[in-house]
Amino acid sequence: MTTPAMTRDRTGALCTIGPAAVFMVGIVGIPLLYIFYVSFNGLHFSFYAYVTLLSSRLFFQSLWSTFETSILATVLSVLLGYPVAIHLARQSPRRRALMMILVLMPFWTSILVKSYAFTIILGRRGLINSALSYLVGHKVALPLLFNKFAVVIGMANYLVPFVIFPVLASLLAIDPALGRAATLMGAHPLRVFRQITLPLSLPGVIAGASSTFIISLGFFVVPALLGGRHDVMLANLVDFYTRETLDWSAAAAIGMCLLAIIGLCGVMAATLRKVRRA
Amino acid sequence: MNLDSMDRPARRTRYFTTGLACVVYGFLLVPSIIVMLISFGLIAGPGQGGGTNPTLRLYAEFLSSPAWMQSVWHSVFIAFSATILSLGIGIPATYGLERFAFPGKNLIRGMLMTPLAVPTIIISLGIYFYFSTLGLINSFAGLVLAHTVYVTPYVIMTLTAGIRKIDPRLEFAAQLMGAGRQRVFWCVMLPQIRPSIIASGLFALLMSFDEVVIAWFISGVQTETLPVRMYSSIQWEISPLIAVASTLLSAVSFLACLVASRVRPVEGGDSF
């Protein structure tokens, strides 16, 4: 892409991009390398931190919990996001822009606000239990908070918009004539959905699900506030080792593992998308 | 296709998906609504009596609580400083990326976007280690610097979309008529992208104001931000004042959402 105004002015490029590059290297690049360095115990090079992790039950428990929670949250987000995308795709552009606010508003709402609200909704004396108690007539105290259920609900509440945007984009790209033709030839709406809408929107679903899953893996606030002791995810373990036990090399090693897992999933998602496109 | 021309199964499936979508809209919006109701005393929050009369008592309590108000001012100060800094480095960087040709450009572009690809918890950990050795933990300078790099990728993305919309021939014409590089930048390019600058500045402001994970790692008692105070408060005491703070944050997000629906910012999804 060469525009008339695009020039090969190295000094110009250096002067404009330089400051931002210095910031990124200085405040993100060096710290990332520093985690790597700390994870191998700095100058006294050793694999000790990693070896310790391999024998740590807590680590494997939270590794498993991270995957389990992320998969559940992704599945729930896709199930919740898909109908909304269908609904939005059906609206006229004007109405769609208006209804998008219903999705954008939660998208921009702080994760803290959501977590706080869910402690109130799901708590032992929370809104759901109070409503149930009122309906049943005697006290109900379902354990809805501080468990995996609460974490998955809270995460899905945050993640649904990340599914809606790409699915909506791929739904809008479908030629509406396809569905109309199928309907005219007598196809039941469910069949139209199964044979036209769903397959053609699959790229959007894959994009949404993979980004949702990858974001889930690094979740920190929701499991800390809505989860119990057994729902600790890797990000919380990083926090625990940094602040509670002050074991920097363990925290760094867990951080490197999390980064490797997320990087691997990112590469896998990218290849999946490329394979589908080819 | 209007509803009348459809047969019954078509209409039924349409109602079904609409119903389902409305349930999800409700699910998405319910947290913000609940916190608002509690903050105005319409629902009794945890640790409160049963009184459910509309009242601004919690707001009065919030405004007169030095600890909460101080965290608000910290957040405001950090958000404004980080926004100014990120615009200061983000505007020239976007201009450079869009208007200069040089080797390794994609690599540089990718590097400027690292905070988007790396989970915030990892960035927080790295910055925590690094700032500990530099003595920047529990300092405003540290928080401002960290938030600046955190919001800069979003600033660059929004500005890139803005710059790509304007006609580069205008800048070329100015150049032909003898304007220097600097003059083209200040007098031709900047005025044209003013809306994107305002939008990206607002995003930066709101994102920094909302940010909790990095701040949780590197702030201390003297520099506690509003989100950090909320986080520890939800974890330990569940004060009803969290509802007021949450409503405040929701109002701020509502502003962001209004801006977003006007300029179509960074869409989620492909940024990861």
Q: Tell me the domain boundaries of chain A.
A: 62-277
Provide CB contacts within 8 A for A106, sequence distance 6+.
A114, A157, A160, A161, B28, B29, B31, B32
pLDDT at B266: 42
Establish if B118 touches chain A: CB-CB under 8 angstroms: yes
Place of tokens 């006007």: B262
pLDDT at A229: 86
Q: What is the band of B255 on the pLDDT scale with cuts at 50, 70, 90?
A: confident
Based on its alpha-carbon atoms, the radius of gyration of chain A, rounded to whole angstroms, reads 24
Q: Interhelix angle for B105-112 vs B140-165, to 10°?
A: 130
> What is the Cα–Cα distance from A110 to A101, expressed in whole angstroms?
16
* Longest CA span, chain A: 77
Q: In DSSP terms, which residues pair with B100 in a beta bridge?
A: A7
pLDDT at B261: 67
Which one, of B136, B124, B129, B114, lies nearest residue A38 by Cα? B129
- pLDDT at residue B169 above 80? yes
> What is the Cα–Cα distance from B214 to B128, expressed in whole angstroms?
8
Place of tokens 């208007």: B99
- pLDDT at residue A34 above 90? yes
pLDDT at B95: 92
Q: What is the band of B49 on the pLDDT scale with cuts at 50, 70, 90?
A: low
- pLDDT at residue B264 above 60? no
Establish if B26 touches chain A: CB-CB under 8 angstroms: no
- A62-277 is classed CATH 1.10.3720.10: yes
Give A-chain residues touching B88 at CB under 8 angstroms.
19
Half-sphere exposure of A186 (CA within 13 A, CB side): 0
H helix or E strand, kind and range, residue A208: helix A198-217
Backbone dihedral angles phi then psi of residue A7, each to the nearest 5 degrees: -125, 160
- pLDDT at residue B267 above 60? no
> What is the Cα–Cα distance from B171 to B189, expressed in whole angstroms?
7
Q: What is the ipTM of this complex?
A: 0.90
> What is the Cα–Cα distance from B207 to B83, expressed in whole angstroms?
9
Based on its alpha-carbon atoms, the radius of gyration of chain B, rounded to whole angstroms, reads 23
For residue range A47-86, what is the model confidence (pLDDT) as tens digits?
888 988 888 899 999 999 999 999 999 999 999 999 999 9
Percent of chain A scored above 90 by pLDDT?
Answer: 59
> What is the Cα–Cα distance from A127 to B30, expressed in whole angstroms?
12
Q: Is A15 helix (H, G, I), strand (E, B) or coil?
A: helix
Q: Is A7 helix (H, G, I), strand (E, B) or coil?
A: strand
* Exposed/middle/buried for residue A185 (C-beta within 10 Å: 0-12, 13-18, 19+): exposed
pLDDT at B269: 33
For the ranges A78-87, B43-52, B75-84, the lowest mean pLDDT is seen at B43-52
Give A-chain residues touching B102 at CB under 8 angstroms.
8, 10, 13
Establish if B107 touches chain A: CB-CB under 8 angstroms: no
Give B-chain residues touching A109 at CB under 8 angstroms.
31-32, 249-250, 253
Considering the entire predicted model, what is its pTM? 0.90
Provide CB contacts within 8 A for A64, sequence distance 6+.
none
User: Among A108, A127, A239, whose Cβ lies nearest the Cβ of B257?
Assistant: A108
- Mean pLDDT of chain B, nearest integer: 87
Q: What is the band of A133 on the pLDDT scale with cuts at 50, 70, 90?
A: confident
For residue range A82-121, what is the model confidence (pLDDT) as tens digits?
999 999 999 999 899 889 888 988 888 899 999 999 999 9
User: How many Cβ atoms are within 10 Å of A176's Cβ, its own excluded?
Assistant: 11
- At position B233, the amino acid (one-letter code) is S
